[in-house]
Amino acid sequence: MRIILFAITGFGNAALRTLQRCGLEVAGLVTRRETGEFPYYPEVNISFEARQAGIPVYDDLDLKSDRAAALLQNLNADFLFVSSFHQKIPLAVLSVAPRSRAMDRI
């Protein structure tokens, strides 16, 4: 099962590690460029952690653009997973994962 993770450093790291431990394939990470250390507890920058694991990282992606939806659609994800994300996610992006669209109808 392929997942696109929308997350920022902090709780997002725990989500990334949990998805990997569960054997799910993280097809991409959508996050923001962060400078400095995480202020609340010692944590690795999520972009760095994802790149170390071979996961494509999309920093500061404008989710309202047609380019973003097309780019994420090409990742062929089954689900989107959101953890402590900093942007409102538009419907065009929410619709890129077929199983997420099915959940939409329940």
pLDDT value of position 105:
45
Average pLDDT over residues 12-39: 92
pLDDT value of position 99:
65
Phi and psi, residue 86, nearest 5°: -105, 0
In whole numbers, what is the pLDDT of the chain averaged over residues? 89
**At a CB cut-off of 8 Å and minimum separation 6, what does 48 contact?**
none
Question: Structural domains in the chain?
Answer: 2-104 (3.40.50.170)
Distances (CA, A) of 82 to 3, 11, 34, 65, 100: 10, 10, 18, 19, 12
